[in-house]
Amino acid sequence: MKTDYLIIGAGLSGLYLAYQLEKMGEKYQVIESRQRIGGRILSLDSMDMGPSWFWPQMHPRITQLIDDLELPVFPQYSQGAYLLENQHNSAPIRYESGFEQSPVSMRIAGGMQSLIEALFNLLPSDHIQLDSKVTHVNYKENGYSDITVDQNNRRQIIETKHVIFAMPLRLLSERITFNPSLPTDVKKHFASTPTWMAGQAKFFAEYDTPFWRKNGLSGSASSHIGPLIEIHDASTFEGSGALFGFVGVDASTRIKAGEARIKQAAIEQLSRIFGEQAAFPTDVKLLDWSQEANTATQADHQSPRNHPSYGLPTAAKELRQLHWHFAGTESAEENGGYLEGALEAADTVMNTLDYH
């Protein structure tokens, strides 16, 4: 196979790049290692297992894209009291002033997956190849690169003028062999760049109705006991109830505890905080991103304490001389880690490509 632009990764950045190239009538192909599109964006029954929110006041690109795709949105529910679980055998502290959102967090009806599906529906399906892992990138004297792809133990070579890596930098540094090799400082930078969200786990409890609202509660809470350290209302646009929380223990502790124990402890915690009704969810979901091989490496099992500093070193930007380009949210200078960063990095690449 031969193409002009090969995009590695069918997450938001990769699909957005494909969308831009499609509009321009360019010849491109998207390769994705997972058996699904979306990358770290994943909605199960409208529950956002990955990112849930966007902020129109801070993030113009994602806001404009959602608007262009005419996706219905709604604000994160935050009316009512905020609860703090401070110590064992003690009722949570209730703050009537509530959980103030500034700026306001917005959600997409049907979940963030709706954004991914809307982009996908604008692309020819034969331009996206799933369950395909890139193993080698070999630059040739004619200015093209040969990309070795493994799909179900079958090797495929794709020749392309431009390679766009729309994937986490740390994952890229571990999974792909380059010829010529990446410069040493680029390798070090990529290997030391935490993959956003890769060390996190999210838990959801679903209910027929958001019963806590009748009790004057916002559904937002924090806890010094756990296992959930930060909890929010995740009820759907259609009105069914849900609470979600970030699991506060680290990846190795989660692995030792096991899914069943974490789920049980989380339900017990929600019933302590929100009352007995919370003990009887209609369904529960837990996704540990540290166990997702196409997201996290071993180095990602320890989440960074603060928001990492993202962006590319100068030597990585100079690799565009080989027509190698780096997108994905960890490549963004200003909005790394956010959905906005995925689009920022994609726009940066689009602005540097030499079109036909």
Percent of the chain with pLDDT over 90: 91
- Asked if residue 263 is part of any domain, the answer here is no
What is residue 21's predicted lDDT score, i.e. its pLDDT?
97
What is residue 102's predicted lDDT score, i.e. its pLDDT?
76
- Asked if residue 12 is part of any domain, the answer here is yes
Q: Flag whether pLDDT at 332 surpasses 90.
A: yes
Cβ density class 115-130: b for 16+ within 10 Å, e for less:
bbbbbbeebeeeebbe
Q: Flag whether pLDDT at 78 surpasses 60.
A: yes
Q: Flag whether pLDDT at 353 surpasses 90.
A: no
Please give the single-letter amino acid code of residue 62. Answer: I
- Asked if residue 296 is part of any domain, the answer here is no
pTM attached to this predicted model: 0.95
Q: Which two tokens stand for residue 9?
A: 């990764």
DSSP state of 23: H
- Asked if residue 349 is part of any domain, the answer here is yes
Round the average pLDDT of the chain to a whole number and report it.
Answer: 95
Mean pLDDT calculated for residue range 313-328: 95
- Asked if residue 175 is part of any domain, the answer here is yes
d(CA 270, CA 280): 10
- Closest by CA to 3, choosing from 168, 131, 118, 124, is 124
- Closest by CA to 292, choosing from 41, 30, 16, is 41
Q: Flag whether pLDDT at 100 surpasses 80.
A: no
- Closest by CA to 145, choosing from 325, 352, 322, is 322
What is residue 221's predicted lDDT score, i.e. its pLDDT?
96
Range of the domain at 130: 1-41+112-193+306-356
- Asked if residue 228 is part of any domain, the answer here is no
Mean pLDDT calculated for residue range 179-193: 96
* pLDDT range class, residue 349, cuts 50, 70, 90: very high
Counting the structural domains of the chain, the total is 1
Q: Which residue has the higher pLDDT, 193 or 304?
A: 193
CATH of the domain at 122: 3.50.50.60
- Closest by CA to 168, choosing from 145, 147, 201, 191, is 191
Span 118-138, pLDDT tens digits: 999 999 999 999 999 999 999
Q: Flag whether pLDDT at 99 surpasses 70.
A: no
Nearest-5° Cα angle at 66, 166 to 107: 100
Q: Flag whether pLDDT at 74 surpasses 70.
A: yes
Nearest-5° Cα angle at 51, 49 to 53: 125
Q: Which two tokens stand for residue 54?
A: 């966007």
- Asked if residue 21 is part of any domain, the answer here is yes
- Asked if residue 75 is part of any domain, the answer here is no
Q: Strands 217-223 and 201-207, how do they pair?
A: unpaired
Contacts of 173 (CB under 8 A, 6+ apart): 182, 187, 190, 191
Contact call for residues 50 and 41 (beta carbons, < 8 A): yes
Q: Which residue has the higher pLDDT, 231 or 96?
A: 231
